[in-house]
Amino acid sequence: MWVQRGSTLGALIMTTFASLGVDPVLTAALGSKGITEPFPIQELTISDALAGRDVCGKAKTGSGKTLAFGLPLLQLLKAHSASGTRGLVLVPTRELALQVAGELQPLGEAMGLSVVTVYGGAPLERQQAQLEKGADVVVATPGRLIDLIDRKATSVADPDHSKLETDLFQGIVTE
């Protein structure tokens, strides 16, 4: 995004992912996908989320919300190594779960983090096996997540970061 700053020269300054504090590994992974400039929602939220502040953003479909919360989520998880599920993204539908995971998985791989998707309508045993192998980030629908918690396949008792997404609310909550 280009922003005009100052009145003396009227220069346009381009905001980049790097200038927002995004890890060079993530910046390179984005660049390989042709994503070089942040969308407005990303420009407004990434720096605050990376600083550990709670962020709530609302924007239209296709505006870049997934990367607005996903980049800080992955970067913060990479910076603080630990085992077990440390990031939770809760979404209302399987379609959205697949979409969000599709964006986060390649970026997570670039950072050495695993992203597992769990949702109804898919084999429960396969998802349970994936969780038992270990997942840094779980993208889940509520019903399937409850099923897997009941089976003791995962715990979300103390995630480092959680993200809620619905039609009306988006946020990243850091503990």
Q: Are 1 and 46 in contact (CB under 8 A)?
A: no
Q: Does an H or E element contain 174, and which?
A: strand 170-174
In this model, does residue 29 exceed pLDDT 70? yes
In this model, does residue 8 exceed pLDDT 80? no
Tokens 């990243």 correspond to 172
In this model, does residue 80 exceed pLDDT 60? yes
DSSP symbols for 65-102? HHHHHHHHHHHHHHHS--SS--EEEE-SSHHHHHHHHH
Tokens 């994503």 correspond to 35
Q: What is the CATH number of the domain that holds 135?
A: 3.40.50.300
Q: Tell me, what's the pLDDT at 99?
A: 95
The model's pLDDT over 95-134, given as tens digits with 9 standing for 90+, comes to 999 999 999 999 999 999 999 999 999 999 999 999 888 8
Q: How confident is the model at residue 11 (pLDDT cuts 50, 70, 90)?
A: low
Q: How confident is the model at residue 13 (pLDDT cuts 50, 70, 90)?
A: low
Helix-strand-coil split of the chain, %, nearest 5? 40, 15, 40
Q: Tell me, what's the pLDDT at 162?
A: 61
Number of domains in the chain: 1
In this model, does residue 168 exceed pLDDT 50? no
In this model, does residue 27 exceed pLDDT 90? yes
User: Tokens standing for 41?
Assistant: 């929602």
Residue 84 neighbours by CB distance under 10 Å: 13
The model's pLDDT over 40-66, given as tens digits with 9 standing for 90+, comes to 999 999 999 999 888 888 888 889 999
Q: Collect contacts of 32-35 with beta carbons under 8 A, ≥24 apart.
A: 33/106, 35/67
Name the average pLDDT for the chain.
Answer: 84
Q: Are 173 and 167 in contact (CB under 8 A)?
A: no
Q: Tell me, what's the pLDDT at 161?
A: 60
> Which domain covers residue 73, as residue numbers?
2-174
Q: Tell me, what's the pLDDT at 172?
A: 40
Using CA of residue 62, residue 45, residue 35, residue 160, what is the dihedral sign? negative
